[in-house]
Structure 1
Amino acid sequence: MQSANVNFQAEARLGDGPPFLGLDPAPRSYQSWVADETIEDYALRYAPRSYRRWTPATIVHTALGGISFLALEAIGAVLTLSFGTTTTILAVLIATVFIFITSLPIAYHAARSNVDMDLLTRGAGFGYIGSSVTSLIYLTYTVIFFALEGAIIAQALLVSFGLPLPLGYLLSTLAILPIAIRGMTVISRFQKVTQAPWLILGLLPFLAIGLVEPQPLAIWMAAPDPGVTMLALGGAISVLCALTLQIGEQVDYLRFLPSKETTPPWRWWGALLMAGPGWILIGGLKIVMGSFLVTLALASGMDARTAAEPIGMFRHAFGYLFEPTLALLFATVYILIAQLKINVTNAYAGSLAGSNFFVRVARYHPGRLVWLVLHVTIACALMMLGVFATLEAVLAFYANLAMAWLGAILADLAVLKPIGLSPARIEFRRAHLPDFHPVGCGGMALGGLVGCALYLGLGGPGPQAWSPVIAFGTSVLGALAIAALVRGRGYLARRPQEFSPLTSCDCAICSHGYEVQDLAYCTFYHKPICSLCCSLEPHCRDYCKRATPAVGGRVAGAPRPGRILPLNVPPRIGRRIWQVLAVFLTLMSGLALGYAGLRLLLASGRETSLLPQLLFAALPLVLLLALWLVMTYERRRLTEEDLVGALIRLNSAQHELALNQRLAAIGEVAATISHELRNPLGTVAGSIEVLARSPGIGPEAAEDVERARRNIGRCGRIIDMLLDFARQEPHERQIIEVDGWLQSVLADHSARTVAQVEVEPGLKLICDPARLQFAVCNLLDNAMQAVEAKAAADFAPRIALRAHRAGGRVLIEVEDNGPGLATDLIARAFDPLVTGRPQGVGLGLPLVRRVAQIHGGEASIVRTGADGTLMRLSLPEQAP
């Protein structure tokens, strides 16, 4: 990837950055398997344009290969045995329409923004930390389905070769590692190679059934059917609702879709629909096929348990074409191919979800391979516990959480973004996101709590059967209601920057080049860093998002002057209490959910009467654990803040020392320069004036004389600026009426034609008027040059000169609507001999800062960007 030195326009408030030249970040290097893009596939990142070289047809081909899982047929069989054929078909139709509609906005935004499910959730109203919960839910989804698919492989190996189930579980787990390790490139090739055998073997038994069985549909429809009831329909739909998160695995492919602008619309939209929500069209058909096959197997005399297993139903289906031994062999081969295709995708998606979760929780990224191994290990343990035997109960319980998550995302993507209550762009970078946002987190929490409570039977049999649907509706309505209350506020912690005209840039920490969509400007280091390095950075402690950064020695978040706190009450006590309560409730909820999930996995018939007693007995221990976790985190946070504060002060002191040394050197040579240059310049100026009055001087000579006059004047101004650095004290102090004084300053300045004065009435200031006038005029000069540089036919130059009182200080501000400062100059704008103009000297702003310091104040750049620059002089009302 090509990279370039950064030089872009910042739109963020510069007040969010430290008032010194940024610290030098510690270089970060990744393990070779992390840096290898064929393995990582830009995991945890925006998928760059340079990497998205697959054709839309390849995306569709690969994505559809990931829905080969036979758990769909197994689900169809289980639903048919539990609720009957009619209820199953009706539930599949309803769920297919629902999943297609709800998956479409997710697929569109993921393909449009080229991000995976986790990054999409961050920008859909959950926030940076809030979306970590959804990563855990998605990780659970991939683990559960990996275990289900692996159990199907183990059952096939048991029936075909007599291989013990534990050994089959282990082999089904290890078989996918060589492919899943290498990432999306190898997975795509594997899906392409196995696609034709999978399709042929999957369709072959149905063709045989149609040719051999005289009335297969009549047998299917004639099966015992208890009829459609609302309870049965709700139960069937609840199981199918867990499949909605399959769109997350489809998104892993869709994020590599080529740019919409460079792809014909029919190809782009066709690939989006087929590889995204279109999966459920084939998936729904596979569920119906499972219902059909289990009915035929039962009609042939096979027991219900064996018929519900894919190896049983497909052995019977291939029996229409081959003799029993050969039918079993073909069924086994088909199951192995289908299950390896889906479990490779499950493992890959789960490793991404695990990486995303632990990057935010632990700020540690050892590589996707570590979480891949963890993922398959947990899945193998679930197989040993017999997850396939409790398929219906596991999916129905999990569906409540999945639907609550989906409802909150859908509310943001399909409603809030189109009406403008949520940012149109999917923002995923930590530097620009709040930790939590109430819209997504609140909507999902409401939906999840309501759904799980109803599923546990608190509302009776009817709501229990429809709990996932109710959870979805509650989540959507809750998210919309919260969005209406916050009115679109809080989605972004600070405004993103524009890196134009660059398309790529090097990360200041890992030194790799990335496209600008994956970069953020770090106000802690004053350098661009990539999104992953930003996520892993432990030292800044979200400095860029602090509302009140440390200025003048006061630490951000510390009590402000005038705030009354009771004696002996530690600071941030309210925050610590809230953290303890939040951790306590989270641990208790996890304990309750873990107990309920364990009962489901073990298929235990015991009553839950012991649950309240167990939870009550665990209260003291969980509370102590929560207190210990919060205090451990607090000690770590304080230690890190002390270390960062010491580094900041050291860096600031070193920078100030270097600056003072440069100023001292300038002051020492100022007198020599004045003496050595003023006399020759005076002689040259006199000669020029004599020459100008000479009779018969021609037009060309007159132009040369005028040019010499301008350059002599410029040399004189440079000498005056150099001499000003040698003068440490103001010549005089007096009280001035700020309003009248600023009016007089502006009256003698060229900016008077476009500038407006806004002064707080009755404002007075003790200062050196001559020095302060020089500083204000210098700021006006810069503003005037900025608006002239942006001059255009439809551009109206505007300069505002303001003065007002704030916190016992007088703030004099000069604001323009020019193009703003280049970001690489912002941190050094007040350093001597630093300038962004070809003809500049670089002494104007340093002199302004010196004037402010002489008066006991400070000069700063409040903000700068494409919409202009705001400069400020902050002075005490009483001069020191």
Structure 2
Amino acid sequence: MTVDDVAVGKEKRTGLGASKETLEDHTLRFAPRTYRRWTPAVVGASALGGIAYLADFSIGAGIGLAHGTANALLAIGVAAAVIFVTGIPLAYYGARYNIDLDLITRGSGFGYCGSVLTSVIFASFTFIFFATEGSIMAQGLRFAVGLPLWLGYLVSTVVIIPLVVYGMKALAKLQSWTNPLWLLLMVAPLVFLIVKDPGSVLRWLSFEGTGGSGVNAAAVLLGAGVCLSLMGQIGEQIDYLRFMPPRTAENKRAWWASVLLAGPGWVVFGAVKQAIGVFMAVYVLGVAGAAAAVEPIEQFTGVFKQLMPPWLVVPLALVLVVLSQVKINVTNAYSGSLAWTNSFTRVARRYPGRLVFVCVNLAFSLVLMEADMFSFLNSVLSFYANCAMAWVVTVAADIAVNKFLLKLSPKQPEFRRGMLFAVNPVGVVSFLASSILSIAVYFGLFGAAWRPYSPLVAVVVAAVLTPLMAIVTRGRFYLRRTDDGIAASMLDAEGNPSGSRYDCVVCGESYERPDMAASAAGGTICSLCLSTDRDGVHVLPAQNR
């Protein structure tokens, strides 16, 4: 009998609760061992499948056309370095302890309710980029079959809904099966073009953009600010990485390789796509014009024309665009629904189910698309980048510095209600100060000369203030309790989350040790039932310390 057979039998016996648990893909929860049956390679490949989006090409093209190739490449490199370094501790914690970025954020400086702020930031990331990718798909449909943009926006939204219903099980198959075709369509034409026309590389490298002023720091930082808006992508990578199997002596090399490649390593692939976006924009600029040169469908059509019959150009370009958009937008819809559900459940003490927020997230995305967000994409991303950087750098600094160096933050992550203070000033103050200051710089409140440096302000303020706040507060606002009332260890002998199981006194289901805590009313209770306990009768009292 398989794990799935056991799950189906349990659903028949217990009704809606167990059925929801299977369908909801362990929303808001620690991901248990019994569900994590994939190898590190499969999880990593699935996570990387989510970065098939084409917005990178548009972002790179926009930066390149505005500031020139040299400034664009430097901007891409700077942003990639920052994203990679900050992504390492987050990816490690998600994969090692099998929790998503919101659950990591709770115990990494923000508190149980304080991380609602960052959940909304992350949810905004998912619907902004869903709208971006949906717009690109609609452009492809208009180009290929003449579908009006407004209808293309609707089609690109509705087609995603059935693909995100069953969470990781369906997404792993979708990403794994489509990765080879996507890579072939992406790489082969570019290799052929460069071999056929080597001069295209020189034209690309010498392109100076509309300003034509050569390399300068302001242009590099302005471009980096747009690229850094993608920093929130690490949250979507962790939504896959939380399903990594336990790290053992036998699989540790494969485990680490998958975590690094599919965690912070996503940005390496993203940076390459952005650089290619600059290349293709320069290549098609003389034919398509500046407005069209930032549209991926125009870019790939221009390249495909060089190596295949005209009748095959548009269909293949459309296949690439649609395939890319579906691969990323199932991830955007999935991750966005998790973020919204997390926020709502903590605020309302009610769990409506993840599918409700799939529709909510898609509705936001559709409104942005119909408002033609794509036409001012770089402005939206530059503004959003300040909030995304403040959040991610704050959490990364708390893990790397406060947990491992200063040892003021508990090294083992905590996310359960009652164990954490509602608000921890370490993360909340650092995040708000970093966001507000960098946004003020971005809007020129400190003078136009400082505006390009808003990304630097966001990163530096969050990186410095997070450990400073931990020192000032002496780490007193991380844990409300150090004992969850269960004697058994949270971790096994190899440091992995324990697989021992306990029954929940509220829903009657059995869950693994990291998801459970003692109930103040007796017995043990799972984290989701504890989150929805409106009267607080199951919440353990604060410890006297």
Q: TM-score, normalised by structure 1?
A: 0.58
Instruction: State the match for 1:544 in structure 2.
Output: 540
Q: 1:59 aligns with which of 43, 46, 50?
A: 43
Counterpart of 1:245 in structure 2: which amino acid?
G
| Secondary structure of 1:458 counterpart | coil
Please give the alpha-carbon distance, in whole angstroms, between the structure 2 residues aligned to 1:117 and 1:197: 30
| Residues 1:251 and 2:251 aligned together | no
Aligned pairs for 1:148-167 within 5 A: 148-167=132-151
Instruction: State the match for 1:449 in structure 2.
Output: 436
**Deviation per CA, 1:176-228, whole angstroms, max 9, x where unpaired?**
11111111101111111111110111112112202322422012123234212
**Deviation per CA, 1:130-183, whole angstroms, max 9, x where unpaired?**
001100000000000000000000001011111001110000001111111111
Answer with 79-88 or 255-264: which moved more. Answer: 255-264
Instruction: State the match for 1:318 in structure 2.
Output: 304
Residues 542 and 503 (structure 1), Cα distance of their counterparts in 2 relative to 1, 3 Å cut: closer
Please give the alpha-carbon distance, in whole angstroms, between the structure 1 residues aligned to 2:400 and 2:459: 14
Please give the alpha-carbon distance, in whole angstroms, between the structure 2 residues aligned to 1:352 and 1:33: 18
Aligned pairs for 1:278-317 within 5 A: 278-299=265-286, 301-317=287-303
Contact 2:481/2:543, CA 8 A, preserved across alignment: no
Please give the alpha-carbon distance, in whole angstroms, between the structure 2 residues aligned to 1:93 and 1:442: 29
Please give the alpha-carbon distance, in whole angstroms, between the structure 2 residues aligned to 1:490 and 1:266: 36
Instruction: State the match for 1:437 in structure 2.
Output: 424
Q: 1:375 aligns with which of 348, 361, 369?
A: 361
Contact 1:169/1:384, CA 8 A, preserved across alignment: yes
| Residues 1:398 and 2:394 aligned together | no
Contact 1:147/1:387, CA 8 A, preserved across alignment: yes
| Residues 1:530 and 2:526 aligned together | yes
Instruction: State the match for 1:131 in structure 2.
Output: 115
Instruction: State the match for 1:521 in structure 2.
Output: 518
Please give the alpha-carbon distance, in whole angstroms, between the structure 2 residues aligned to 1:539 and 1:208: 65
Aligned residues: 521
Aligned pairs for 1:776-855 within 5 A: none
Instruction: State the match for 2:323 in structure 1.
Output: 337
Please give the alpha-carbon distance, in whole angstroms, between the structure 1 residues aligned to 2:530 and 2:337: 20
| Secondary structure of 1:514 counterpart | strand
Counterpart of 1:333 in structure 2: which amino acid?
V
Instruction: State the match for 1:458 in structure 2.
Output: 445
| Secondary structure of 2:307 counterpart | coil
CA RMSD in angstroms, aligned pairs only: 1.9
Task: Determine what percentage of the aligned residue pairs are the same residue.
Answer: 41
Instruction: State the match for 1:745 in structure 2.
Output: none
Counterpart of 2:430 in structure 1: which amino acid?
G
| Secondary structure of 1:520 counterpart | strand
| Secondary structure of 1:191 counterpart | helix
Counterpart of 1:53 in structure 2: which amino acid?
R
Residues 108 and 327 (structure 1), Cα distance of their counterparts in 2 relative to 1, 3 Å cut: same
**TM-aligned CA deviation for residue 286 of structure 1:** 0.4
Please give the alpha-carbon distance, in whole angstroms, between the structure 1 residues aligned to 2:365 and 2:265: 27
Contact 1:34/1:367, CA 8 A, preserved across alignment: no
Contact 2:91/2:263, CA 8 A, preserved across alignment: yes
Contact 2:481/2:542, CA 8 A, preserved across alignment: no
Residues 129 and 30 (structure 1), Cα distance of their counterparts in 2 relative to 1, 3 Å cut: farther
Contact 1:68/1:338, CA 8 A, preserved across alignment: yes
| Secondary structure of 2:511 counterpart | strand
Contact 1:33/1:40, CA 8 A, preserved across alignment: no
Please give the alpha-carbon distance, in whole angstroms, between the structure 1 residues aligned to 2:206 and 2:243: 47
Please give the alpha-carbon distance, in whole angstroms, between the structure 2 residues aligned to 1:187 and 1:37: 17
Contact 2:18/2:509, CA 8 A, preserved across alignment: no
Q: TM-score, normalised by structure 2?
A: 0.92
| Residues 1:50 and 2:47 aligned together | no
Please give the alpha-carbon distance, in whole angstroms, between the structure 1 residues aligned to 2:246 and 2:449: 47
**TM-aligned CA deviation for residue 86 of structure 1:** 0.6
Please give the alpha-carbon distance, in whole angstroms, between the structure 2 residues aligned to 1:517 and 1:262: 22
**TM-aligned CA deviation for residue 95 of structure 1:** 1.4
| Residues 1:412 and 2:408 aligned together | no
Aligned pairs for 1:433-512 within 5 A: 433-497=420-484, 498-500=486-488, 503-512=500-509
Instruction: State the match for 1:610 in structure 2.
Output: none
Contact 1:454/1:463, CA 8 A, preserved across alignment: yes
**Deviation per CA, 1:483-528, whole angstroms, max 9, x where unpaired?**
11111212111123344289111100010000111001122x1221
Q: 2:346 aligns with which of 340, 360, 378?
A: 360
Please give the alpha-carbon distance, in whole angstroms, between the structure 1 residues aligned to 2:390 and 2:488: 39
Contact 2:530/2:538, CA 8 A, preserved across alignment: no
Please give the alpha-carbon distance, in whole angstroms, between the structure 2 residues aligned to 1:538 and 1:188: 35
Instruction: State the match for 2:173 in structure 1.
Output: 189
Contact 1:31/1:367, CA 8 A, preserved across alignment: no
| Residues 1:82 and 2:85 aligned together | no
| Secondary structure of 1:430 counterpart | coil
**TM-aligned CA deviation for residue 462 of structure 1:** 3.0
Counterpart of 1:304 in structure 2: which amino acid?
A
Counterpart of 1:213 in structure 2: which amino acid?
D
Q: Tell me: higher relative CO, structure 1 or 2? Use CA pairs within 8 A at least 6 residues apart.
A: 2
**Deviation per CA, 1:30-73, whole angstroms, max 9, x where unpaired?**
98487344421111000111211100110111111000000001
**TM-aligned CA deviation for residue 307 of structure 1:** 1.2
Instruction: State the match for 2:10 in structure 1.
Output: none
Task: From the two aligned structures, give the one with the greater helix fraction.
Answer: 2
**TM-aligned CA deviation for residue 543 of structure 1:** 5.1
Task: From the two aligned structures, give the one with the greater strand fraction.
Answer: 1
Instruction: State the match for 1:102 in structure 2.
Output: 86
Instruction: State the match for 1:421 in structure 2.
Output: 408
| Residues 1:210 and 2:194 aligned together | yes
Please give the alpha-carbon distance, in whole angstroms, between the structure 1 residues aligned to 2:17 and 2:57: 37
**Deviation per CA, 1:444-480, whole angstroms, max 9, x where unpaired?**
0110110111111101123211112201211221111
Residues 288 and 128 (structure 1), Cα distance of their counterparts in 2 relative to 1, 3 Å cut: same
Counterpart of 2:526 in structure 1: which amino acid?
C
Instruction: State the match for 2:253 in structure 1.
Output: 266
**Deviation per CA, 1:345-403, whole angstroms, max 9, x where unpaired?**
11000000010010011111111000001111110111000111111100000011111
**TM-aligned CA deviation for residue 542 of structure 1:** 7.9
Instruction: State the match for 1:229 in structure 2.
Output: 216
Q: 1:147 aligns with which of 131, 149, 171?
A: 131
| Secondary structure of 1:505 counterpart | strand
**Deviation per CA, 1:225-259, whole angstroms, max 9, x where unpaired?**
42122221111011111111111000011111111
| Secondary structure of 1:260 counterpart | coil
Please give the alpha-carbon distance, in whole angstroms, between the structure 2 residues aligned to 1:106 and 1:156: 35
Please give the alpha-carbon distance, in whole angstroms, between the structure 2 residues aligned to 1:221 and 1:476: 34
Counterpart of 2:131 in structure 1: which amino acid?
A
- Is there any run of 5+ residues in structure 1 with no aligned partner, and where? 3-28, 549-862, 864-880
Instruction: Name the larger-Rg structure.
Output: 1
Residues 541 and 291 (structure 1), Cα distance of their counterparts in 2 relative to 1, 3 Å cut: farther
Please give the alpha-carbon distance, in whole angstroms, between the structure 2 residues aligned to 1:180 and 1:543: 33
Please give the alpha-carbon distance, in whole angstroms, between the structure 1 residues aligned to 2:293 and 2:469: 48
Contact 1:91/1:236, CA 8 A, preserved across alignment: yes
Instruction: State the match for 2:493 in structure 1.
Output: none
Contact 1:44/1:532, CA 8 A, preserved across alignment: yes
